[in-house]
Structure 1
C-alpha cells in the first residue's frame, strides 16, 4: 500500500471513530395485543422536537402497497428516498413481540426527539401515531401503552 493511501485511510478512520463513539444502540421491544386479525404492519420512526421526520428505524411488513395505511409515517417520510434501506422485515402477528435495535446519536437523546409508531392490520382500522414517546432517559425502561394494536413500547438505553 502506498504511503499517501495509508495516510488517507488513517485520516478517514480518525475522523470516523468519534462519530461512532457518539452513537448508542437503543433496543425497542414492542409486544402486540391479541387483536384477532392478520399480522400488523408497523412503522417505527424518529421525529425531531418540531414533529418533523428524521429517519425510519424499522418497518414491519414487506408489501409497499400497504404502506399508505401507515399514514403519518408515509406522509412525513415520503421525501426520504432511503427510508427503507436495511430497515424492513415481516409483519408482526397478534400477540407477538417485535424487537428492534437502532444506533442513535447521543445528541438525539434529551433533545426533544420522539419515537413514533404507526400501525395497521388488514381489514381493520389504521392507527397512525399509535405510540409517541419522547426519547429521554426518564422514559427508558418504562412501558408506554399503545392505542389499538400495540400493547406497549419499551426502549432501553445502554
Structure 2
C-alpha cells in the first residue's frame, strides 16, 4: 500500500472513531421549575452520580459567583478535589417561582446503568438540600417530568431530548 493510501486509511479510522464518540453524547433541554419560596436566588448544581452515590461529573451549575459554590457542600467537596472548567456550563441562579431552561449533555453509555442526575441546591440564609431532586438515569426519565421532594426549592424538572 502506498503512503497516500495508508494516510487516507488512517484518517478514515480516526474520523469513524470521532463519529462514534460524538454519537454517545446526547443533548437534553433541562427545565427546572422552582417552588414559590421567598428569598435570594438558588444556586443549583446538576451532577451525574454513579450507583454508589459518588459524583462523576458536573453537568450544569445555576449560579455564576464561584464564592458561593462552597454552599453546595457535597458537590463542592468533589469539585475541590477534581476542579474542572465549568464556565461553559454555568448560568444565572434562579429565584422562587421562576424557571430556568438549560442544555445538558449526557453520555448515552450511562443510561440504564444505575446512574442518577442529582440536583443539589442552596439559598443564602436558608436550608441546603444535597438531594433536592434526583432522577434515575433511565430511558423513560430522559423524556419525562420529575417532581421535587417537597422539602426543597425545586418543584419539578422536565428533560426534553434536544
Q: Give the TM-score category using the shorter length.
A: 0.7 to 0.9
Rounded Cα–Cα distance in structure 2 between residues aligned with 1:134 and 1:52: 14
Unaligned runs of 5+ in 2: none
Name the counterpart of 1:156.
Answer: 160
Q: 1:8/1:152 Cα in 2 relative to 1: closer, same or farther (>3 Å)?
A: same
Q: Does 1:138 align with 2:133?
A: no
**Corresponding residue for residue 101 of structure 2:** 99
Number of equivalent positions: 157
Query: Highest CA radius of gyration, 1 or 2?
Result: 2
| CA distance in structure 1 between the partners assigned to 2:104 and 2:25 by the alignment | 10
1:25 to 14, 24, 27: 27
Structure 1 unmatched runs, 5+: none
Which structure has more helix as a fraction of its residues? 2
Matched, 1:88 2:90: yes
CA RMSD of aligned residues (A): 2.2
The alignment partner of 2:106 has SS state of: strand
Query: 8 Å contact 1:55–1:77 — kept in the other structure?
Result: no
Instruction: Indicate if the aligned counterparts of 2:145 and 2:156 stay in contact, CA closer than 8 A.
Output: no
Give the TM-score taking structure 2 as reference length: 0.85
Task: Give the structure-1-normalised TM-score.
Answer: 0.87
1:73 is matched with 75
The verdict on how the C-alpha distance between 1:31 and 1:93 changes in structure 2, with shifts beyond 3 A counting, is same
Q: Distance in 1 between matches of 2:7 and 2:66?
A: 43
> How much has 1:11 moved relative to structure 2?
3.9
- SS for the counterpart of 2:154 is coil
Task: Verify the 8 A CA contact 2:129 2:152 in the aligned structure 1.
Answer: yes
**How far did 1:105 drift?**
1.8
Q: 1:72 to 1:83 in 2, by over 3 A?
A: farther
